[in-house]
Amino acid sequence: MNLSESFTTALESLWANKLRSILTMLGVIIGVAAVIALMSIGNGVNQSITGEIQAIGTNLIIIVTDFDNSGGYQALSLADAEALSDPLNAPVLSAVSASVQGTQEVVFGRSSSRTNVAGVTANYFPVNNLTEFQSGDGLTQQDVDTRARVAVLGADIATDLFEEAFPIGQSIKINGVSYEVVGVLAESGSGINNNNSNVYIPLTTAQSRLFVDRTRQGEKAVSTITAQAASEEQTDEAIEQITQILRQQHGIAYANEDDFTIFSQSDLLETFNVITGTLTAFLGAIAGISLLVGGIGIMNIMLVSVTERTREIGIRKAVGALRRDILVQFLMESVLLSLLGGFLGMLLGWAISQLAGQLIDLETVTDAGTVGLATGFATAVGLIFGIYPAWRAAGLHPIEALRYE
C-alpha cells in the first residue's frame, strides 16, 4: 500500500466516525489555539513595549538616586544637570534635562484629577522626544528662570479636565494655586512612559511650591536627570563620563559606592525583551500542555480503533498486507487527526488573538515562527502518540486477528 492509498484509507476511516474524530481533535484544537493566541498576544506586548522605548530614543540615559547608598536623601540636583551639560565635562552628551515629580490634585472648575505633576527644565520635551503638540507650545527658559505658573498638559488629562473646552489660556489649580495652560501634548503611547496623564510645570516653580526635597548638601533636589548621548554607539562612553562627573560632584571617595543609578534605554529595551520573551515562552509552554492532553486522547482513540478493526487488520494481512502497511495506515490516521486539529486550532487561535487585541487595544503579532511551532508540535503529537497503537496493530497475528470477535 503506498502513501496515497494510506491517506485515502485514513480519511475514509475518520469520515466514517465523524463525531468521534471531532471530539478527539478537540484537545489538539484547543492546545494549538491556546499556543497561537497566547504567543500572538505576548509578541504584540513585546512589540508595543519595544516601540515605546524606541520612540523615545535608544540613546537616552536615565539617572536617578540610589537611596540605598544616599542615606535616604535625594542625591541629584540641578547643579549636577548643569555640570553634565558642560561640553568640556561630557563632550559625548548632546543634551541634558532634569525633572522632579509627584502626585498632586489638579482642578479645573468642577473637574478634578489626581495625577502625576512633573517640574521640568525647558529642554525636557525635545530631549524626551515630546515635540508634537495638539495646541499651544512647551515651556520656555524664561518660564523656568521666572518660576512662572504655567503648565503643559498631556492629552488624556486635558480631555478629563476640559472635555470639549479649549484649554489654552485657561487656568487650572495645582495644590490650590492657579497655573495658566500654555500647551497640550499630542497623544502618545501609554506603555512605558504614560505622558498622556502628566502635567508639566517649570522645574523651579515645582521646587519652590510643590516638591521641597533637598540633597544632603542642602541643594534643591531633582528626581531624574535625562541625558542624550550624541549617538547610540556612544552610549557606553557617555555613561562612563556621567559616572565620573557625578562622583566628583558628590565628593564620592574611590572605594565608596555611587549614590546614583544610571541606565540607558538600550538596557531597558534589552531587559524588557528578555522579560517578555520569557513570559511568552512560558505562556506557550503552559498552552502546550493542552496539546499533550490532546495527544493522549488521540492515543486512546487509536487504541480503541485498533481493537474495533482487529478482524479488518487480520483480513488485510491474510491477503498480503505487510507489517509496514498496517503501521503506516494507523500512523497516517493519527497524524491526520493532529494536522486537522492543528489547522482548525490555528484559525481559532488567530481569531481569539484578534478579538483580544481589539478588546485591550493591542496589535497582536502572529508570526510564521509561532504558526510553525504550533503546527510542528501538533504533528509531533500525532506521530508520538500514534506510534504505539500503530505498532500494536501492525504486530497482530493474522490468524488470531481473524478469530477475534
Q: Give the end of a domain, one of 195, 226, 258.
A: 258
Instruction: Tell me if 265 is assigned to some domain.
Output: no
Residue 369: CA count within 13 A, CB half-sphere: 7
Instruction: Tell me if 295 is assigned to some domain.
Output: yes
Same domain, 113 and 81: yes
Which pLDDT belongs to residue 118?
A: 93
Which residues touch 157 (CB under 8 Å, ≥6 apart)?
A: 106, 113, 115, 196, 197, 198, 199
Which pLDDT belongs to residue 57?
A: 59
Same domain, 152 and 179: yes
Q: Give the end of a domain, one of 223, 258, 293.
A: 258
- Per-residue CA distances from 279 to 265, 274, 283, 375 (Å): 21, 8, 6, 21
Tell me: the pLDDT tens digits for 315-362? 776 666 667 777 777 777 778 888 888 888 888 888 888 888 888 777
Q: Give the end of a domain, one of 233, 258, 283.
A: 258
- Return d(Cα 88, Cα 283) in angstroms, integer: 50
- Return d(Cα 238, Cα 225) in angstroms, integer: 14
Angular region, 344: left φ>0, alpha ψ -120 to 50, beta rest: alpha
Same domain, 182 and 295: no
Return phi, psi of residue 86, to 5°. Answer: -70, 115
Instruction: Tell me if 62 is assigned to some domain.
Output: no
Same domain, 71 and 47: no
- Return d(Cα 364, Cα 354) in angstroms, integer: 7
As a residue count, the chain comes to: 405
Same domain, 165 and 312: no
Same domain, 204 and 99: yes
Cβ atoms of 311 and 397 closer than 8 Å: no
Instruction: Tell me if 288 is assigned to some domain.
Output: yes
For 336, the grid coordinates are 491526520
Identify the segments of the chain with pLDDT beneath 50: 1, 191
Which pLDDT belongs to residue 313?
A: 66
* Secondary structure E strands in 1-109: 60-65, 93-108
Helix (H, G, I), strand (E, B) or coil at 404: coil
Same domain, 87 and 203: yes
The domain total for the chain is 2
- Return d(Cα 380, Cα 386) in angstroms, integer: 10
- Per-residue CA distances from 357 to 17, 154, 342, 346, 377 (Å): 37, 25, 22, 16, 25
Nearest Cα neighbor of 59 from 129, 138, 132 is 129
For 57, the grid coordinates are 530614543
Range of the domain at 89: 67-258
Which pLDDT belongs to residue 191?
A: 47
Same domain, 108 and 203: yes
Same domain, 387 and 348: yes
Same domain, 169 and 141: yes
